[in-house]
């Protein structure tokens, strides 16, 4: 395994579109017209549907391919609707399964490699329209490094719309619909990206958090069957084993609460219950304000077993891999107001629905004694606590960060290295100037750097210039990896000056 050490962040770049010429591309379903940005020297094709709208009887089902051509030229000049979610200010609709393509200008006659972004957000939040995920910065960096690529992003269904779990949903083969949205989006790339100048045989998938979890599940999907939908992967702070995959009975109470709220039959084995949920208006279902976390399940189809079992059986897709995490992931994955060992012990019974057994919890507490100086935030080497969070908060952060992010990063690197794959592992260790816990490098802090999008990290000039240099270096690493499957590049140069 090759170790890649670097430090990551993001600036909110909102591209200004200048209508020089409107690029036109013909894909399987017809002609699409995008927008050209002279500022970025890029073409944008936004909001292209890649599936039939998941409405009415298609609600909660696996996505269906578009089976008809566009009427006239499709206007791909702006983002489509974002998928339903709570706590955002995006324009929401169930008709949200759209894909975006950003390509650098001047490479029309070349077959460029492709980088596909899948957003995170706990499978409850996220949108390609989020300015944090603007693709222009990293596409521009790729051209500056002479490793130009085309970037793609897609929306997928979230929450109950993408992951409703009931016996009837399971019986009709509709579990994990949100993941199948992503898979159909990747299929769309295979069928259409050549029309934009992309090479469908050189596709790298890239994601963070729940997006990286999604990629991890695609790596073990169908028992590790490789359908060549992608050929390399970048997993930032996530993977197949970090989130709990509960069984159907776990969702019995959640489904009962939902159906009682919206007035549907409450017998969850009754087909009329699902029919009722499908007949609700989008507004009525959304108004239920139902915010239970719905996660993927082992459905016997897309996921034939738990990811840990599939990985142990070598049932995973072999691809070159970058996998990494942030130094203080546990700051984001901890329980506060824990002051005693008993508090920590009790919290682990319900924490993140892991259903840890008493022997497992006791073993964890043995492996993670309460030694604040050796616990997150790791930049604080003093034997001090943070009373505002709880006397044993740092201990909880150490356990939480390893369980959710750090352990699986190490495991993925180990397994892929043993499988003979190129593996590059990083630890992101640059704190933001305005960190909520001073000196900490928590979950998601890296994303602005990855996207070359660091205006959101504005601070004192020396610090900001360092952020800019670091962000550009990371962009070069990723461009090298997308082009050569090696972040060092073909000549072992990466432009960061960091050791390997």
The token duo for 17 is: 């579109």
The 3-state DSSP composition of the chain as helix, strand, coil percent (nearest 5) reads 35, 15, 50
358: Cβ–Cβ under 8 A, 6 or more apart, which residues? Answer: none
Q: Are 196 and 46 in contact (CB under 8 A)?
A: no
85-99 pLDDT, tens digit each? 998 999 999 999 999
Higher pLDDT, 293 or 132: 132
Verdict on whether the full-model pTM lies above 0.75 = yes
The mean per-residue pLDDT over the stretch 87-115 comes to 95
Q: Is residue 138 within a helix (H) or strand (E), and if so which, with residue range?
A: helix 136-144
Whether residue 329 lies in the annotated active site = yes
List, in order, residues 6 or more apart from 408 with CB less than 8 Å away: 216, 238, 239, 240, 241, 242
pLDDT cut 90: percent of the chain above it: 84
Q: In whole angstroms, give the CA distance from residue 6 to residue 52.
A: 41
What are the pLDDT digits (tens) for 283-334? 999 999 777 889 999 999 999 999 999 999 999 999 999 999 999 999 999 9
pLDDT in tens, 135-170: 999 999 999 999 999 999 999 999 999 999 999 999
Considering the chain, what percentage of its residues have pLDDT values greater than 70?
Answer: 92
pLDDT of res. 454: 86
Lowest-confidence segment of 21-35, 310-324, 338-352, 485-499 by average pLDDT: 485-499
CA dihedral 12, 17, 22, 24 (to 10 degrees): 10
**What pLDDT, on a 0 to 100 scale, did the predictor assign at position 11?**
27
Q: Are 118 and 156 in contact (CB under 8 A)?
A: yes
Residue 8 is predicted with a pLDDT of: 34
| Residue 250, phi-psi category: left (phi > 0), alpha (psi -120 to 50), beta (remainder) | alpha
pLDDT confidence of residue 219: 99
Domain boundaries, the chain: 2-336+402-484
d(CA 262, CA 42): 46
- The pLDDT, as a whole number, for residue 25 is 97
Predicted local confidence at residue 5, as pLDDT: 39
Contacts of 279 (CB under 8 A, 6+ apart): 56
* pLDDT for the residue 293: 85
CA distances from residue 382 to 123, 397, 437 in whole angstroms, order as listed: 36, 16, 15
Determine the longest span between alpha carbons in the chain, in angstroms: 68
pLDDT of residue 464: 77
Q: Give the 3-state DSSP-derived string for 326-341, with helices as H, strands as E and coil as C.
A: ECCHHHCCCCCCCCCH
Residues 13-54: pLDDT tens digits? 334 343 448 999 999 999 999 999 999 999 999 999 999 999
Which residues lie closer than 8 Å to 149 by C-beta, 6 or more apart? 112, 113, 114, 115, 139, 142, 479, 482, 483
- DSSP secondary structure letters along 306-322: -HHHHHHTT-S----EE
pLDDT band at 4 (very low <50, low <70, confident <90, very high): very low
Token pair 């750097």 in the structure block, residue: 449
Contact yes or no for 8/430 (Cβ under 8 A): yes
Summary count for the chain: helices (H), strands (E)? 15, 13
Q: Catalytic: which of 329, 347, 450, 471? A: 329
Report whether pLDDT(386) > 70: yes
Other C-beta atoms lying within 10 Å of the C-beta of residue 439? 13
- Whole-number mean pLDDT of the chain? 92
Residue 98 bridge partners (DSSP):
49
C-alpha span between 4 and 500 (Å, rounded):
5
Gyration radius (Cα) of the chain, Å:
23
Confidence of residue 9 (pLDDT cuts 50, 70, 90): very low
141's CB contacts (< 8 A; 6+ apart) are: 452, 472, 475, 476, 479
- For the domain covering 2-336+402-484, report its CATH number: 3.40.50.1820
The span from the CA of 334 to the CA of 389, in Å, is: 10
Question: Mean per-residue pLDDT for 176-194?
Answer: 99
pLDDT digits (tens, 9 = 90+) for 221-279: 999 999 999 999 999 999 999 888 999 999 999 999 999 999 999 999 999 999 999 99
d(CA 124, CA 296): 12
* pLDDT score of 364: 97
pLDDT at 458 exceeding the cut of 60: no
In the set 9, 37, 82, 209, the catalytic residue is 209
């Amino acid at each position: 395994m090759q170790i890649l050490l670097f430090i990551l962040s993001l600036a909110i770049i909102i591209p200004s579109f200048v209508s020089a010429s409107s690029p036109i591309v013909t894909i399987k379903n017809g002609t699409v017209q995008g927008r050209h940005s002279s500022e970025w020297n890029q073409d944008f094709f936004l909001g292209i549907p890649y599936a039939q709208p998941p409405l009415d009887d298609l609600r909660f089902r696996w996505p269906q391919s578009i089976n008809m051509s566009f009427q006239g030229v499709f206007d791909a000049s702006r983002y489509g609707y974002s998928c339903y979610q709570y706590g955002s200010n995006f324009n929401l609709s169930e008709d949200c399964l759209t894909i975006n393509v950003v390509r650098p200008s001047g490479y029309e006659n070349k077959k460029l490699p492709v980088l596909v972004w899948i957003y995170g957000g706990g499978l409850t939040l996220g949108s390609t329209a989020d300015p944090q995920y603007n693709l222009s910065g990293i596409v521009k960096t790729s051209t500056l490094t002479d490793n130009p690529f085309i970037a793609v992003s897609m929306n997928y269904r979230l929450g109950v719309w993408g992951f409703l779990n009931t016996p009837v949903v399971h019986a009709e083969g509709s579990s994990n619909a949100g993941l199948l949205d992503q898979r159909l989006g990747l299929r769309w790339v295979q069928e259409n990206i050549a029309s934009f100048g992309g090479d469908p045989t050189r596709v790298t998938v890239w994601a963070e958090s729940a997006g990286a979890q999604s990629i991890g599940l695609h790596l073990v999907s169908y028992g590790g069957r490789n359908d060549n939908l992608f050929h390399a992967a970048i997993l930032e702070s996530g993977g197949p084993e970090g989130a709990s995959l509960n069984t159907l009975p776990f969702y019995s109470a959640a489904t009962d609460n939902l159906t009682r709220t919206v007035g549907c039959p409450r017998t969850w084995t009754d087909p009329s219950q699902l029919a009722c949920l499908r007949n609700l208006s989008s507004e009525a279902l959304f108004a239920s304000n139902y915010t239970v976390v719905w996660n993927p399940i082992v459905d016997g189809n897309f996921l034939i077993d738990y990811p840990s079992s599939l990985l142990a059986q070598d049932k995973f897709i072999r691809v070159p891999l970058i996998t990494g995490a942030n130094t203080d992931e546990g700051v984001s994955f901890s329980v506060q107001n824990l002051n005693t060992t008993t508090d920590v012990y009790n919290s682990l019974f319900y924490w993140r629905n892991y259903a840890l057994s008493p022997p497992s919890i006791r073993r964890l507490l043995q492996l993670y004694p309460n030694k604040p100086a050796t616990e997150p935030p790791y930049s604080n080497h003093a034997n001090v606590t943070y009373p505002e969070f709880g006397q044993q908060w740092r201990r909880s952060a150490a356990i939480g960060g390893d369980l959710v992010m750090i352990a699986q990063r190490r495991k993925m690197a180990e397994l892929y290295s043993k499988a003979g794959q190129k593996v590059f592992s990083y630890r992101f260790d640059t704190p933001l100037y305005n960190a909520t816990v001073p000196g900490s490098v928590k979950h998601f802090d890296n994303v602005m750097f990855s996207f070359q999008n660091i205006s959101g990290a504005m601070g004192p000039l020396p610090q900001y210039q360092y952020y800019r240099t670091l962000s550009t270096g990371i962009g070069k690493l990723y461009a090298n990896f997308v082009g050569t499957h090696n972040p060092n590049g073909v000549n072992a140069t990466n432009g960061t000056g960091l050791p390997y």
